[in-house]
Amino acid sequence: MVRDVAFGQYFPANSVIHKCDPRAKLIMLVGFLVIIFCTFNYASLALVVLFTALFVAASKVPAKFYFKSMKVIIFIIIVTSILNVFYGSGDPLVQWGIFKITLNGINRAIFVSVRIICLILASSCLTFTTSPTELTDAIERLMKPLAKLHFPVHEIAMMMSLALRFVPTLLEETDKITQAQKARGADMESGNIIQRVKAFIPILIPLFVSAFRRAYELATAMECRCYRGGTGRTRMKTIHMAKRDYVSFVMVALLIGGVILCNIFLPAAV
- With respect to residue 173, please indicate whether it lies within any of the assigned structural domains: no
140 contacts 151 by C-beta, under 8 angstroms: no
Q: Does any domain span residue 103?
A: yes
Q: Is residue 249 situated within a structural domain?
A: yes
Q: What is the dihedral of CA 227, 228, 229, 232, to 10 degrees?
A: -110
What is the predicted pLDDT for the residue at 195? 75
Does residue 222 fall inside a structural domain?
no
- CA-to-CA separations, 243 to 21, 154, 247, 259, in angstroms, rounded: 10, 28, 6, 25
pLDDT at position 9, please? Answer: 75
Distances (CA, A) of 54 to 17, 58, 110, 222, 240: 11, 6, 21, 40, 24
- Determine the pLDDT at residue 1: 47
Residue 62, in any domain of the structure: yes
Would residue 270 count as lying in a domain? Answer: no
Distance CA 122, CA 252 (A): 13
Whether residue 268 contacts residue 40, with contact meaning beta carbons closer than 8 Å, is answered with: yes
Quote the domain boundaries for residue 82: 2-167+238-265
Helix extents (H) in 59-147: 63-71, 74-86, 103-129, 132-142
Residue pair 269/40 in contact (Cβ under 8 Å)? The answer is yes
Per-residue pLDDT 10s for the chain (270 aa) are 445 555 567 888 889 999 999 999 999 999 999 999 999 999 999 999 999 999 999 999 988 888 888 877 888 888 888 888 888 777 777 877 777 888 888 999 999 999 999 999 999 899 899 887 788 788 888 888 887 888 888 778 778 777 777 777 887 888 888 888 888 877 777 777 777 777 778 888 888 888 888 888 888 988 898 777 666 666 667 778 889 999 999 999 999 999 999 999 998 887
Q: Residue 34 domain-assigned? A: yes
The per-residue pLDDT for 246 is: 93
Please indicate, yes or no, if residue 122 is contained in any of the structural domains: yes
Number of domains in the chain: 1
